[in-house]
Amino acid sequence: MNRRLLILGLGALLAATSAYAHHSFARMYFEEKSISLEGDVVSYDYRSPHTWVYFTANDGTGVVRKYGAEWSNPRRLQQQGVAASTLKAGDHVIITGAPNRSATDYSVHLKSIRRPADGWSWPTGGSR
């Protein structure tokens, strides 16, 4: 009986830890706001739990900064036709997303991305 309770307790603890680890985007980003940034990809991290696009862009005051755009998880993106090879360093992109709640954290929750050079875009698709 004690062993069964221990196993149940450990299972509940693992489930609670997993649920806590997956944060709410609304906690980190102003989901009701939207900004659009245009710049060049520095790196593209296609990995779990979320894919990130790092890029340089003008912050609106004339300063070029490195931004991070937090995207979806790779499995979901793969189902939508986005692969690890979709973006490369140097690609010129326009990213629209919800800004970070912290004024000193240059990141957005990515809502759309477009690569003008070939017309590729997400979530609507386009050429590759």
Beta bridge partners of 29: 100
How far apart CA 7 and CA 19 sit, in angstroms, is: 18
The pLDDT, as a whole number, for residue 125 is 57
**What token pair was written down for 65?**
């900064």
* CATH number of the domain located at residue range(s) 25-122 in this protein: 2.40.50
How far apart CA 71 and CA 43 sit, in angstroms, is: 13
pLDDT-above-90 percentage for the chain: 72
Average confidence score pLDDT of the chain:
85
How far apart CA 2 and CA 78 sit, in angstroms, is: 44
Please give the residue that has the higher pLDDT: either 16 or 3. 3
> Model pTM?
0.78
For residue 123, is the peptide bond before it cis, meaning its omega torsion is within 30 degrees of 0?
Answer: yes
Q: What is the mean pLDDT of residues 100-118?
A: 96
